[in-house]
Amino acid sequence: MNQHLQSAARIIQAGGVVAYPTETVYGLGCDPFNEQAVRRLLKIKRRPAEKGLILVAADLRQLEGLVRLSEAERAELAARWPGPVTYLLPALPSVPAWITGHHDQVAVRVSGHGIARALASAVGTPIVSTSANRAGEPPARNAFNVARRLGGELDFVVNGDTGGGKPSTIIDLDSGRVVRD
């Protein structure tokens, strides 16, 4: 892993907020278990905590202890991930309320983007993944736009290309309902 990603991982572990490329757009990330870091990210984004946040993981193993999955559900997710599909899954009590918002589910994804996965792997836990923009504005698609719009409020911007396109599709795994396409 390169020094750039190691720096970003150390910043997240220390409670910082970073921007990083994903398979769709640039994301804002932090340690989901650090309430101060999450509250700071929400303030930067101007997003209400009630909405909840997405967690991006390096692999399915990183979600153990956070979500309840049957073997059939685990197999279904393994067939769809890594990729730009986020699933709403039943959250275990270990998932903080500042991540789930007013929901009993948590939104999770194993990213198909090498940098996003490597960053979650280096941090050692899933990381928050919400589009790098203020609420109601279009998401940033490159490091320059992130720095221009939010740079003064972030601790680090990871350089890299996004896959382009719209933010990830969100599916409720229990019902199969597409929440965001």
pLDDT digits (tens, 9 = 90+) for 67-102: 989 999 999 999 999 998 999 999 999 999 999 999
DSSP state of 152: G
Alpha-carbon distances, residue 53 vs 2, 3, 27 (angstroms): 27, 28, 11
- Give residue limits of the domains in the chain: 3-180
User: Contact at 8 Å (CB) between 23 and 167?
Assistant: no
Amino acid occupying residue 26: Y
Please report the pLDDT score of residue 114 as a whole number: 94
Instruction: Name the stretches of the chain with pLDDT < 70.
Output: 1
Q: Give the count of beta carbons closer than 10 Å to the beta carbon of residue 36.
A: 11
Rg (CA), the chain: 15
Residues pairing with 69 in the sheet: none
Q: Domain 3-180: which topology?
A: DHBP synthase (3.90.870)
Under the phi-then-psi rule, with left for phi > 0, alpha for psi from -120 to 50, and beta for the rest, what region is 17?
Answer: beta
